[in-house]
Amino acid sequence: MISLYDKLLDNLRPYAVPYEDHPQQSTRDFEYDHPLTGIENDRIVNIDNSSFNIDTIEDLSFDEIQKIHDKLSIASPLTTMREYDEESQQELFTYYKGKKNQYIDKKIPRTSAIHLRNLKNHIQSVLFKRKSEIRDQRANDLLPTLEKFLELHKKGNPKSYPDWLKFKFKEIRWGDLYIQPIINLEKLLESGDSILQAKTTRDFISKIWNRLVNANTRSYESRQTTPSVKTTYVLFEDFNSYMKNIVNKKIKPEIKNLPRGKECVHSIIFRYRKNIEDIRIQIHPRYKTECTQGWNRLDTYDFEVEVEDILSNYGWRKGINYKTSTNRD
């Protein structure tokens, strides 16, 4: 199995001009003085009074990797420079200069700069993975506490947990808790509730979760390892059966039987937006162009009022559990 160091060296092959040759091409006194010049020549990296083995970086503790990453984050910001022939002004080669702290204006060759950047990026990915593992563990440890709290809270606050709404704690991924809102459409219509209650309850769960995970966390860095609540798409568990048995067999025929309904209505749109941030069920007729060309705004308004009356007989309340917007997710 190829080592990490060897993989990083393979990435340098397209840039393989030995850095020792560069100063010899210059027509002026030129010297690389960046402390990490030649970093690509050894799997042991010496940086700012400490050292580590590239191939065993993943065996280190989180704090050790974080310290290495911090040091590389200071050393790796570089400015691209070009060396020119003093007489002809022909470009000879590219090099880089440090931009931070003790590395300011320190010159480093191109191959060393690229190796430094690639090494820093790899360690950053290792650090991100390690943070995610910590977040995963914390999320798994806290989930039973959250479930118990919500069970108790529901007893004293039943309106926040209507029968038509439930939340499935779907998975813990990348250190975050993913929950899925599940809505029973027929129960929603029977209740007369606003569909926006789903978002309100989700926001409450998120708030409680954040209080749990940040209870003993004050610093910004510590909060980077704490899990948060994220929401998957909303699931309407009975939407297809409602469309088949109620919409297609009852509601649509009633609308088509309105005066000029069969003549002017091309189709009737029933769909829902899956994003809980803009959760809505959308209901609106599509008209045949050749039929409605002579209609004015009042004609359309009067027809849609009749559509609203039909929908209201089935529990639909405009602005409460549906809207006529045509926007999509």
Q: What dihedral do alpha carbons 17, 18, 19, 22 form, nearest 10°?
A: -60
274: burial class by Cβ within 10 Å (0-12, 13-18, 19+)?
A: middle
Please tell me the distance from the alpha carbon of residue 294 to that of residue 83, in angstroms, as a whole number. Answer: 75
Per-residue model confidence (pLDDT) at position 19: 47
- At 25 the pLDDT is 60
Nearest-10 crossing angle of helices 197-213, 110-156? 110
User: Is 179 within 8 Å of 202 (Cβ atoms)?
Assistant: yes
Tell me which DSSP letter residue 80 carries.
Answer: E
314 three-class SS:
coil
User: In the prediction, which pLDDT does 33 show?
Assistant: 92
Q: How far is CA 131 from CA 69, 134, 140, in A?
A: 13, 5, 14
Instruction: Give, for all 329 residues of the chain, the pLDDT tens digit.
Output: 788 888 888 887 776 554 445 555 655 667 889 999 999 999 999 998 889 999 999 999 999 999 999 999 999 999 999 888 777 788 778 889 999 999 999 999 888 999 999 999 999 999 988 888 887 887 788 788 888 888 888 888 888 889 999 988 877 776 678 888 999 999 999 999 999 999 899 888 888 877 777 665 555 555 555 667 788 888 999 999 999 999 999 999 999 898 878 888 888 889 888 887 878 889 988 888 777 666 665 567 888 889 999 999 999 999 999 988 776 65
Res 225: pLDDT = 53
Amino acid found at 290: E
The H or E element spanning position 284 is strand 281-287
Q: What dihedral angle (degrees, nearest 10) is formed by the CA atoms of 147, 149, 154, 160? A: -90
Q: What is the pLDDT of residue 329?
A: 53
Is beta strand 229-231 parallel, antiparallel or unpaired with respect to 44-47? Answer: unpaired
Phi/psi at 134 (nearest 5 deg)? -65, -45
* pLDDT on residue 62: 92
Count other C-beta atoms under 10 Å from residue 52's C-beta.
19
